[in-house]
Structures are given as structure tokens and as C-alpha cells.
Structure 1
């Protein structure tokens, strides 16, 4: 089966000034699909080459036209004022939304191809006609996706989970009690209630794009950091706090920050109000507010490198099971293979009512 895959971001480390969180898991997913026997052609611009100078064309295929495919896979894009909504090719314009519109028009509306729409940011409108379009399956990276959608979580390599050693991770030197890696988008409330009070009591660093910070003069903001530094920051830190926009919290959507931290041995502290928090975190790491978070970091500093610390890291690794790549590939198989099989039979004229 040949999949046309549309994403706006990078497979490699990309460039620093970009909010593309998909770099932590996109290549893992694509390589998993290739290993499973799918063919992949990328349908958006090759940003790895054009912006980062990273030539991956010996390994992957890009096509700026409308190539022959069996199914469409969309990492859903949405209107972003000042970027993909301004005239093309105006200054600052990105063509992701225009290109996606063309792909939807040609492959879904025009040819009726099966499509998996991965609404990674929960930006697809509830009344969008694509939700009821024949052959389209909407997926969300949430434990409890919205009605009518399926769960397709951000994938973690099975081998990365199985190969992580809680003992060595717990014994690593960690000079930073608290870190947060990520951008401000829709996280002000969670930041003010959870992170800021903990940051008042513990040394910390916040890495990412946070343009509005006047409410927290005591917080150390380091600005955007290269993607290659994400793992190093987590390996320096004892703990992080999972900051979740409300729309994620109600559906139990955990971003890549969860497994980026866990695989580096940085313990994720989770807000109790996030649905499903107890499924992905041990009870000891769930808090109700910033005071509890600060107190918890005190306790974690006290048990650092001990058997209790090792057990907490092991418990977090165990709870990544739901995010395994193998589980996400099974979801994609279940969505696309039956649809493509039926369409091929219909195209060949092999209908049930025919002799």
C-alpha cells in the first residue's frame, strides 16, 4: 500500500526557530510504517532539505505534485493568522494549509481515497464536514478521544522503552531540580498554577518560546533551544511538570514531553485534573497544585539515586506501554488496510452481487 503522508515539520533535528513537536516521534512512526511494508511519499515541502540543509532524499521520497497513492495520511493543519492565512507567496507565508486544501480536494473529495486525519492539536472543528466524509477516519493522540474519533497516540519506539535502564537513569548526576521544555501555547493557566509556584522554591529552567512572561518575574526563561538539546536538558533535570491545555486535559492527551522526559530519567509530575493521569503516571507523581508540586520535588531530591527513585522511573517506563510504536501501527493497519482493500475490489469490479 502506498501512503501519501502530509506533515509540516521535520524528520531530523530541523531548525531551532520552529514549534514542530513532531520531531520526537514522526520519523519513528514513518520508519515503523516502512518496516511494516508500506510505501510512503511525503506530500508537503521537504523542509529538512530546504530549511535545515539535511538531505534525506536517499532514504525518503517527496513529491510536490499529486502522485498515485492508495491512501492519504494527514497530520492536520489549521489556519494560523499571519502565517498560512496571508497571501501566497507573501513575506512570512507558509503553504502548509494551501497544500493540505489541495490534497483534500483531489484525493478525498475528488477521488474518494481512504484517509486518516490525525488531529494532533485538536484543531479540527466539531462540525467540519470531513468528520462525516466517507472513507475518512479522524484520530487524536488522546486516551479518551472525542466521540466519532479513534485514539492514535504519539508513538514511542518499543526498543527505547525496553532498553531503558531505571538504575542507570536514577544514578545519573542531575544538577537541575526542575525543567520544562515546550512552548507557551495555551498553557498560561497550568503554568501559573503548577510550575510557577514550584519554580519559586527550586532551581529551574524553562526552554521554549514564551513571549509573554511578565506575570512570572522569578522564572528563568532560556528561550528556544535546538531540538538536539531537549534530551540533554531532561538528563540534567530531576523532574518536569506536564503542562496541558484544557482541551488536552479533558481528553487525556499527553504530548511527547511525557516520554521525552521519562526516557531520559526525568520524572514527570502530572496534574490531577488531566483525565487518565493515573494511567500514565504512578500516584506518587500526581499533584493538585503548585505547592504540592514543590513539596514533591523536595521529596524527590531527598530520594535521588535510591531504590525509591529507581522504582519511580521503572513505574513511569512501564506506563509508556500504551504509547508503544507497535500499538500505534496496529491502529493504522486497522484504519487503512480494510478501506483500501474494499476500494480495490470496487475498482476492479469485483462486487459481491456480481458472478
Structure 2
């Protein structure tokens, strides 16, 4: 019988010392002697080291001299470990009993997966936080089934992207993809990583028998909208294969103009404009990055497109007008029809 692979648990913190005891107390009993535990602190002032000394003396603290965000912090933590599986866990997430074993077992049970997540729950495990990420062809990503009752399904299944709140990645896949792009800082880095892994032929999935509790509220603000919009365009420019991007570009531009009006009504037009300026300013870098990403592509454009959707049923997007829903869905059907059978 094969030995279960070791796991390197990486927790990125920023002023999270108050949350760590609960997270660590749930996690530690599930770890083996071969597992690693690294807490990466992004220049906090709340002394997470004291928490580790008291609750988890086996953990290593990697104290950064500056805040590199979740993306940069995670990269630093993974680089400081060596186990074949990496488990990125939010500092305020609680791993249910048996969850780590279920996530670990998926490495052999799902050999084509490069990354997978737990079923992330909220409200004391009564509702779904995310059952796997949903990616719209416009580049938006959101938590699937958020707020719904826990599903009855128990078999692992594939998803468009896996949440960074409780994310397992094979080290070989992480290394080949280059990990998160540290320029993202935060928001959308998990979606971008998953799309790049799928470009390389890896699957991305969910292990629904592994539960991780993580209460979450979608808070809006200029800071968040800026990163969401800038990073969305970086992902579109980097991950989308050329045939797909060429077919979508007219719609993407028209939508972005329309989105400015939505942003103005929502009070975040300034953040949207700053994001557009940032994308234009970094365009040479984004195109160089695109070249590196696309050079690793093994999946066909049609295969990649199957992981995207025209559904706009996200609880975070409100209720778009029916004509808009019909128009964008029709456009996507046309694009899929043009891509079908091309093999490019």
C-alpha cells in the first residue's frame, strides 16, 4: 500500500493573530510527522510568533519585512517547503475532522488533477461558501453555490477554478506554472493559477467530503474593485488562447465601456478607471507574461473554453437585465460554435 504523500501547509497572515489559535487547533491533529507547517506573516504588528509558540511550536514562522499580499506571501511560503503537496489555508479557516486526509487521498485518486479544493462552508457548516469557482467568459470569477445548503454529492468533481481559501496544489504543477503571479497581490490569483494549470493540461477539482469552514462576506470598496478589475484583465490577457481572445475582444471592449456606467452608479468609477490605466501602463509586461504562459499550453482552445460559462447567476453581480443576459449568452454560443472542432 502506497504511503500517503506529505503535505506542506502554508498559512498567509496579515494582522490575523486573533484567528490563528482556532485554525491551528483544528488543523494540527490531522497533520502527520512528515507534514510541514509554515505561517507566512506579511509584516503584521500583532505578533503571530507568540501564538505559534503557544499553540503550534512545530510551525515555522516566515516573517516578511513587507506586505507582499496573499499571492506573494503564498509564493514565499511554498518556496520554504518541500512536501509534494501544498495546502494553502486561510488563517481564519477551520479544517473539519478528516478533511486533510480526504484532500491528501485525492492526490492518488485523481492523478490528472493539478489543484483541488475542499468544500468550503460557512455559518457553522450549514451552508456552502464555495463548491468550486465559476468563471464567466468575461473573466469574472465567483464562488459556486454560495449560500446554498450543503450538497449531497460525495464523489470528487472538476470545477473551473479552486478557491485559495483551502487549496491543494501538486508541487510539480505549482513549479511548472510558476505559482501565483506575485503582481496580483490579492484577488483573482487563484482563478488565474487554475486557468494556467488547465492550459497545461491539468485538471482542477473539488473534494466534497473534505469540509473547511470559512465565513465570508463580499465587501465592496475602491481598493477591492481596483484589484478585481486590473487582475481580471491580466488574467484575460495571459490565460486566454489567441483564437478565443480574438473572438472575445470586441465584446470585452464593449462590456468594459458599459461597465464604466455601472461603476459610476455604484460609486467605484474611480477605481475602475485606475484599473484600466494600470492595465494599459503594464501592457508590455502583460504581453511578455502572456508569451510565457501560452508557451506552456497543451490544451486546445475548445478544451479551455469548456471551463467557462455564460451564466450570470452570481450572488455578487445582482440581476442583470434580461436582454443583456440573452445577448451575452448568444454571443458565447456563437464563439463556442466557431471554436468547436478547430483543435487549435
Instruction: Tell whether the structures are fold-level matches, with TM greater than 0.5.
Output: no
Larger C-alpha radius of gyration, 1 or 2? 1
Give TM class, smaller chain: under 0.3
